[in-house]
Structure 1
Amino acid sequence: MTEDLDNGFPSSPFSAPKGTLPFTGIATFAGYPFWKKEQRSDAVIMGVPYDEGTTYRSGTRLGPRSIRNASMFYAYEGAKDRFFDADRNQWILSGKTIADAGDVNIEPLSRERNWRLVTRYGETILDAHAIPAVLGGDHSITYPVVKAFEKKRIHYVHLDTHADCDRIFESDYTHGSPVARIFEENLARSLTLIGIRGLTNSGRDLAWIQKQGARVITACQLHRHLRDHQALSFEEGSYYISLDIDFFDPSAAPGTGTPEPGGLFFPDFSDLVHNIAEKGKIVGFDVVEVNPLLEGHHAITSHLAARCVLELLSAALD
């Protein structure tokens, strides 16, 4: 079967036969091959099955596996390592080399050891000139991942219901504290928090982080920007994006530990990350706080997370 070189579609009115089924084989992310460090890759998937930073409902340690399982649906629909995006009427990730490095070997009750490994895994991927695409895990894992970027002076974008500047009792290292740790250790050139909403944020924390120079955009403000077709402004530079799945409305992402009404939806997220990519370069990202124990058999949250990973990869690489 020949292909039309103008648009990449087969000359036949029928699609080529699907060669795989989503429930067969080993569930790497979207069916991408295992990573071999000696082979060049544009992006590398890395799982961090850790949830000892959780302060409410645990289970996000199962997130990486659940996201991978859900992502196999896209292996079924993909063609020649690319995907056709009907919304944008174009192929995405065509010719991009993406691989899956598996999971960090987490050891229970060994936070310092685990986080050293997370940072080292991230550094290994960066040393191979690839983009780390991280599957969590709770939001505490973002801090050791971002430490791998210390020399790059990234702009950090935090997509979340919560500001994550908490100190829980005497602990500085929970899923509610990565923004505070990133700020205090000066790991980013700038901090932008988007999607903040609800009744579970501290007014003092929000006032403090803004006083330090962080930009805070609430969910209501983002809704208004999107409604009025006004793009948010971002400066040039390297960007790391951390997506807490509770950024989305609970109707779209019920499988998370701290849901809050009034969230965003996938088209909003897509517009936002491509808005960032128009000015900056996305050099890494994570998707965290997916808890398959809370989403039921339909796995809607894991499917959304898998789709978000593909969208972030496209924004970073296309």
Structure 2
Amino acid sequence: MRFGYLPEEFSNYEESRIVILPVPYDGTSTWVRGAAEGPEAILEASPNLEFYDIETGAEVYRAGICTDTAIDLAETPGEMVEAVALRVDGYLEDGKFPVVIGGEHSVAIGAIRTVARRIPKVTILQLDAHADLRGEYLGSKYNHACVMARAKELSPIVQVGLRSMDVSEKPSLVAENVFYARDLVGRRDGFDDVLARLGDRVYITIDLDVFDPGIMPSTGTPEPGGLGWYEVLSLLQAVTAKRQVVGFDVCELCPTKDNHAPDFLAAKLIYTLLSYRFAAEVK
């Protein structure tokens, strides 16, 4: 299944600037199961997008968006992380822009590992309701609750949208690099404080529970008091305008049969962020 059901002209690997990697994995989920169904739901929703982006005036699909074969054979969290890391390494070697879609948030670990190794001084920007800074959880250091602990071992991290954490995570916080949801609700501009904490190159990891569950109920660990659509987009637009975004992931969609709006939100988020990143190249 291809993102947007784009024709071969705009979805073949050789000519595509962007590669989407589906990772239908939820082996360490601890509450709502179903993130393994997330990539398929996003891809199924994507053909319903309008591929002209009003805000940027661009049709970013013209840069080429290839959807690669999903990683779905990993039996352990470590195997999954390694498989994602190897695939993303190949994309970067070929000059592609990687987009990983989960799956639970642990799928980001492999992508972050490769990006941090290949791209000097990259900052990892996390949009999430949770800190994800546990050293290990339920016997695994690759649990979805450990994503940013692994990232922090490799690169500077900046955390946006947080509103829930365990007390054991508090010592790992870098206070000046944390922006809580309560301080961002209603903000549509003026993100200089966030930008000041980022290096020139940025990888973005997005857990969909950063959004308020009123618009994104279909997540593995929904948390009240989240950000709205335009608050998240305003931040992403500011980051892409002022920094070089080198890749991103979108994780933790747990689709339901009776509400497809969250699936569409995730697909539109991916396409909108790509529009911000590549509009100048396709106009």
Q: Is TM more than 0.5 here?
A: yes
d(CA) in 1 for partners of 2:77, 2:133: 19
Larger radius of gyration: 1
Identify the match of residue 303 of structure 1 among 261, 264, 269: 264
- 1:203-255 per-residue CA deviation (whole Å, 9 max, x = no partner) reads 442342216xx60000011126x16x422342452111011010001010111
Aligned partner of 2:36 in structure 1 is 61
Q: Number of residues paired by the alignment? A: 271
Distance apart, 1:92 and its partner CA:
4.0
- C-alpha change, 1:115 and 1:208, in structure 2 (3 Å) is closer
Aligned partner of 1:17 in structure 2 is none
Aligned partner of 2:275 in structure 1 is 314
Identify the match of residue 125 of structure 2 among 157, 164, 176: 157
Distance apart, 1:265 and its partner CA:
1.4
Asked if 2 retains the 8 angstrom alpha-carbon contact of 1:160 and 1:247, the reply is yes
Is 1:216 matched with 2:178? yes
Gaps of 5+ in 1: 1-26
- 1:273-292 per-residue CA deviation (whole Å, 9 max, x = no partner) reads 11111221111100000001
Identify the match of residue 100 of structure 2 among 120, 128, 134: 134
Is 1:143 matched with 2:109? yes
Larger deviation: 97-106 or 261-270?
97-106
d(CA) in 2 for partners of 1:232, 1:136: 30
Distance apart, 1:41 and its partner CA:
1.9
More helix by share: 2
- C-alpha change, 1:296 and 1:93, in structure 2 (3 Å) is same
Identify the match of residue 241 of structure 1 among 196, 204, 211: 204
Paired residue type of 1:32: L
d(CA) in 2 for partners of 1:196, 1:40: 38
Paired residue type of 2:140: S
Distance apart, 1:296 and its partner CA:
3.7
Paired residue type of 2:37: L
d(CA) in 1 for partners of 2:204, 2:53: 24
Identify the match of residue 139 of structure 2 among 147, 170, 181: 170
* Identity among equivalent pairs (%): 28
TM-score (norm 2): 0.89
Gaps of 5+ in 2: none
Aligned partner of 2:191 in structure 1 is 231
Aligned partner of 1:20 in structure 2 is none
Asked if 1 retains the 8 angstrom alpha-carbon contact of 2:128 and 2:160, the reply is yes
Asked if 2 retains the 8 angstrom alpha-carbon contact of 1:134 and 1:286, the reply is yes
d(CA) in 2 for partners of 1:254, 1:141: 20
Aligned partner of 1:119 in structure 2 is 85
1:259 alignment partner, SS class: coil
d(CA) in 1 for partners of 2:145, 2:7: 34
TM-score (norm 1): 0.80
Identify the match of residue 283 of structure 1 among 238, 241, 246: 246
Distance apart, 1:173 and its partner CA:
1.4
Distance apart, 1:144 and its partner CA:
0.9
Which is bigger in relative contact order (C-alpha 8 A, separation at least 6)? Answer: 2
Asked if 1 retains the 8 angstrom alpha-carbon contact of 2:21 and 2:100, the reply is yes
Aligned partner of 2:66 in structure 1 is 99
1:241 alignment partner, SS class: strand
